[in-house]
With several copies, the nearest count.
Chain A
Amino acid sequence: RAAEKVTVFAAASLKNALDAINAEWQRETGKETTASYAASSTLAKQIEQGAPADVFISADLAWMDYLADKKLIKTDTRSNLLGNRLVLVSAMPDSKAVDIKPGFDLAALVGDGRLAMGAVDSVPAGKYGKAALEKLGLWPAVEQKIAGAESVRAALLLVSRGEAPYGIVYQTDAVADPGVKVIGTFPDDSHPPITYPIAMTADSQSADAAAYVEFVKSAKAAAFFKAEGFTVLK
């Protein structure tokens, strides 16, 4: 029976939206799904080692590319599912909105505090954040002030707990946290597009996997993703 269930390996940040979508899918089709949420890196390596996953949704392109290189996904089923935006958050309710553009003195804003973000060479959000800061020419000034968290959630926590006055996180996480205030959004062109790709795995035996992928890409599902703050890509 387990083989008939669709098994989704998805980035941990998608848990809320995907849980809702899976529930909806079950209501409509009567079919159950199994979702395993973990870091994209973990999931990719598990798929490489023969994990019984039918569908993989990664939080960045790199790990999907990693599997594609090894021919472990059905490339024809791959598409970019979601997008996200990077925002600058502050824990201080009275902080003013800022305009993030080249020449913006982020270093002065941060002062002698820390700028929390995902770890810049391992966590996807950190990688995007670093790219944006470099593109805007702000990186050299703030490089020494970065506190690289283990995930966006941890970075957000650092800000909401007042450890770091400012942080760079995904919009999706920021809007859900009443403890922080979004004071600026990074221009979309300042960093490579934040993309959550989806694909079926090469080993997938499930008859329903294709239908499930279509469902996740459907407008019905899109509503759930949007509710969590994601941009739905077409």
Chain B
Amino acid sequence: MDWWITLSDAEWTAVQLSLRVATVAMLCSLPPALLAAMVLARGRFWGKSVLNGLVHMPLVLPPVVTGFVLLLLFGRRGPIGAFLAENFGIVFSFRWTGAALACAVMGFPLMVRSIRLSIEAVDRKLEDAAATLGAGPAWVFMTVTLPLILPGIVAGMILSFAKAMGEFGATITFVSNIPGETQTLSVAIYAFTQVPGGDAGAMRLAVISVIISLAALMLSEIFAAVAAKRSVAA
């Protein structure tokens, strides 16, 4: 555990920041991902293909382009960025929140797909049964659908978290590489790979990143196992 001690303050900061960014990205993208998954799985409307395409965009485009688009939209001068900054004081540019936004966007298609897959597997007869017992649509969702799609939600969250740990293309393009603010682990790793002889440093940080993700994975597996035990199809 030698290398642990040799973690510089800056690197340590990057670790903490990565955790924060990945967690926030994962949690904040959950509600919209749920909504999008629900709409895509259940909705029947004209623009569904468009929405579906939109959701997948961050996957299809090189991360640099996604970062560029984020910059255009959410930057200080971007229409959404300016609006949010003026009305709610939410600023993304050069902030860790921006890194979280970038990671959330990059992980969004992964989360939506997982959740959608689970929603499509839900036996709608159970939802019908809940309705006959007096549960309105929102309650049916809360008390039946949501618990049943938990495995998909967990899978989606894990994918999003892992993606956030590894994301750097969109992040660095959108919010650059500011130590302590936007320099996540993977941005730091990238920086190491860009200088001759930086491999050792990159490797050290990569190991940390992997350990964190493994821990998250393991947690999710335990959680999923518990959930699975609870909800074997009757």
Contact = CB atoms under 8 A, between A and B. Distances in A.
A42 interface: yes
A66 interface: yes
Interface stretch (B141-149, B195-203, B225-233): B195-203
B72 interface: yes
B176 A51 contact: yes
B93 A38 contact: no
Given A36-B177, A148-B176, A49 B196 contact: no
B173 A16 contact: no
Contacts of A15: 191-192, 194-195, 198
B53 interface: no
Dominant SS among interface residues on chain A: mixed
Interface stretch (A81-89, A94-102, A150-158, A184-192): A150-158
B221 to A, nearest CB: 34
Contact of B172 (A116, A146, A150): A150
B42 interface: no
A176 B75 contact: no
Interface string B62-83: 0010001001100111100000
A41 B77 contact: no
Interface residues of A, number: 53
Interface string A1-24: 000000101001101100000000
Contacts of B181: 34
A181 interface: no
Contacts of B197: 16, 66, 176
B207 interface: no
Given A7-B178, A42-B172, A49-B71, A12 B195 contact: yes
A187 to B, nearest CB: 24
A154 B176 contact: yes
Interface residues of B, number: 30
Given A153-B195, A163-B93, A49 B75 contact: yes
A42 B177 CA distance: 10
B193 interface: yes
Contacts of B180: 34
Contacts of A172: 196
Given A122-B191, A150-B173, A161 B75 contact: yes
Interface in A55-93: 62-63, 65-66
Given A50-B75, A119-B191, A122-B194, A34 B93 contact: no
Interface SS of chain B: loop
A35 interface: yes
Nearest to A91: B77
A150 B177 contact: yes
B178 A148 contact: yes
A147 B93 CA distance: 10
B179 interface: yes
Contact of B176 (A9, A16, A66, A162): A9
A175 B195 CA distance: 12
B188 to A, nearest CB: 10
Contact of B196 (A7, A35, A62, A114): A62
A45 B77 CA distance: 12
B190 interface: yes
B176 A147 contact: yes
A122 B192 contact: yes
A63 B176 CA distance: 16
B178 A34 contact: yes
A63 B196 contact: yes
B26 to A, nearest CB: 24
Interface in B42-101: 64, 68, 71-72, 75-78, 93-94
A37 interface: yes
17 contacts: A16-B197, A38-B172, A38-B173, A41-B196, A52-B94, A63-B196, A65-B196, A66-B197, A114-B94, A122-B195, A147-B178, A148-B177, A149-B173, A150-B176, A150-B177, A161-B77, A176-B197
Given A42-B176, A62-B196, 6 more contacts: A38-B176, A41-B195, A119-B177, A121-B195, A122-B193, A147-B94
Interface of B: 64, 68, 71-72, 75-78, 93-94, 169, 172-173, 176-183, 190-198
Closest 8 CB pairs of A and B: A176-B196, A122-B194, A12-B194, A50-B76, A148-B177, A49-B75, A122-B191, A147-B176
